[in-house]
Structure 1
């Protein structure tokens, strides 16, 4: 039997809901000049904080709203990494002038797909909170992108092996300072400015790490120390691989900031 139109429930229009301020990192900017380019909008919004990037495409998460003909309507959405950037944009950008237009900046609202059910709002917000937290955690595990040909920061640290026998320090622990002073003097005078020296007195391979201020000094250190004889010991020297552990307590070799 055919169902009459009277028996069918009326479809509800998708409703709007607000994400709690503590979790909403999106702003909606309106009254932008119609000739605003995507690059100009990104440059404008970067003034107030780090923008989110799509992890798959690497592009900034912004949206420039267009009409049916593809022309920019003057409205755009921007997603920041941190909520603090939203607060800054609301304070400084809202009511500011951009290319002779007084623009508006406000927290973004989102439209639900399908029927709006107020009972689902807490569930939806919890889902968005978890999703946002994952994004932020992933973004803050970010490392600066290297420029073409740029060397790894870890290569400023040189690992020198076979410098000493750990047993030496059982009887004369003060010898540790003598070794460090010798290495500091030799490296700083012949290679370049040294930031830090670590001597791993319990390591069976007699390891010392030397961190320099630049890569050139580290390279010179390897040339100076590799294959060199010291106290009847043949040394080896190489860049730190960023992974190998040297401390007896199985702690990672600290990478300088």
Structure 2
């Protein structure tokens, strides 16, 4: 299964490298490997976003979160993705309004929380979704979409719940009601393996001191709509001041890292778990 994710990354990298061969980007690097700067830059909590018109579903999801935390099920799911266990494929039914279904909105480009191999879904959130649907006695339907549409789709009544590595954030509460939290996260930097800019940093303050000195000639890659984008650009709700760098958005963290390795941007900011997964997969290919 992991080979499937690595193959996907490989194909994206091949297309990206071919494109770059015809492109005279302003950045230059021969590095084909990346590394994560292992310093948490933020403290966040993940939760699911429930349709605001379904308070009974919110109550049932919170009860289920409490249950699988207490009986060790959530820990076992996490171990599949962080401890070397075997992830489980999750299948989606076809949406049918005549059936009793749980419709989940996600962005399956955020390993290890949600991603695809072929037409099968994998990830912590996806395995949770399957168990939740079984617990509720419903058929599971998964809708894959751009990340910045996930909460909106729930708010518009097109899905029952958003399960997509969602950080609890005030502006998202306009569209969803957040459940209890199930995972603690943070943002981290990804740089080229030969980039020593942050090697002597020990704390988030050290990293931010360097970031604050960059100008708009420096480019940061982020996944659109994620906390990484808010961190780089600045966000009043979070208290992020932002940095004077050029922020470039991508549909996935993998695409951002590939563009960095092609020499088109300088670094990437993304959640810690996806950062580790992306870098591991890319480095296994080089």
TM exceeds 0.5?
no
TM-score (norm 1): 0.24
TM-score (norm 2): 0.22
Higher relative contact order (CA closer than 8 Å, sequence separation 6+): 2
